[in-house]
């Protein structure tokens, strides 16, 4: 139970309160304990150092980490004290992120097959030198992929519903599928709020 709570996510803000990362609760608590970060109360934006935070006992209904003598509340958001790391701007190209970008939808026929039977199609086939990247890979249902086979779009007579490109969502959110409702206050990202905080 304790280790499960310690693996939960904490949103990490830089000094300008821009989200830069998501850490585990364990890591976040160590950062607060060492003075590298302070906890942000997402309700009133008050900042807590370790002494204040560990002294405030968890209330009923709040997640906590039990220590020998007290229950320490799980920090949902922390802010870094010392340096102003900037958010990274590139979303890693991965199978999981591609499924998110294309919203589980075949980019040729627009279907969302039940059971998620989707494949990754290289728009310019690999055999023709097409690369594995955001601009050349799309989700395709099995029939569309089989129909297109090893042909270019022109040869196959197919059109893409969207121009494939690198998604512009904050890369932090590509790594995590769960978060807290409270994070939405610190994140101006339509994708995140719409898809992940349901």
Nearer to Zn ion, 72 or 144 (CB): 144
Minimum CB–partner distance for residue 158 and Zn ion (Å): 9
Nearer to Zn ion, 76 or 121 (CB): 121
In the three-class reduction of DSSP (H, G, I as helix; E, B as strand; rest coil), residue 54 is classed as helix
Within 10 Å of residue 189's Cβ, how many Cβ atoms?
18
Minimum CB–partner distance for residue 97 and Zn ion (Å): 20
Minimum CB–partner distance for residue 143 and Zn ion (Å): 6
Q: Give the separation between CA 37 and CA 15, rounded to whole angstroms.
A: 9
Residue 169: name the closest of 192, 139, 144, 138 by CA.
192
Residue 3: name the closest of 40, 34, 35, 29 by CA.
29
Minimum CB–partner distance for residue 74 and Zn ion (Å): 43
Query: Which residues of the chain form contacts with Zn ion (CB under 5 A)?
Result: 106, 108-109, 141, 144
Nearer to Zn ion, 125 or 171 (CB): 125
Q: Give the separation between CA 116 and CA 148, rounded to whole angstroms.
A: 19
Nearer to Zn ion, 35 or 110 (CB): 110
Whether the CA torsion 157, 159, 160, 164 is positive or negative: it is positive
Minimum CB–partner distance for residue 88 and Zn ion (Å): 33
Nearer to Zn ion, 72 or 106 (CB): 106
In the three-class reduction of DSSP (H, G, I as helix; E, B as strand; rest coil), residue 78 is classed as strand
């Amino acid at each position: 139970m304790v280790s499960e709570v310690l693996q939960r996510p904490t949103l990490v803000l830089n000094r300008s309160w821009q989200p830069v990362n998501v850490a585990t609760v364990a890591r976040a608590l160590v950062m607060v304990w060492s003075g590298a970060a302070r906890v942000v109360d997402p309700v009133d934006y008050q900042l807590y150092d370790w002494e204040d935070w560990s002294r405030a006992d968890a209330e009923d209904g709040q997640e906590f980490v039990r220590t020998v003598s007290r229950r320490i509340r799980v920090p949902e958001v922390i802010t870094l004290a010392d340096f102003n790391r900037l958010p990274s701007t590139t979303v890693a190209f991965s199978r999981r992120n591609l499924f998110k970008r294309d919203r589980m939808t075949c980019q040729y026929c627009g279907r969302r097959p039940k059971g998620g039977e989707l494949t990754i199609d290289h728009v310019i086939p690999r055999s023709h030198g097409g690369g594995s990247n955001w601009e050349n890979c799309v989700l395709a249902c099995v029939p569309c992929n089989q129909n297109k086979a090893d042909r270019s779009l022109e040869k196959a007579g197919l059109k893409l519903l969207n121009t494939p490109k690198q998604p512009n969502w904050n890369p932090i959110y590509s790594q995590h599928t769960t978060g807290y409702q409270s994070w939405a206050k610190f994140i101006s990202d339509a994708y995140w709020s719409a898809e992940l905080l349901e």
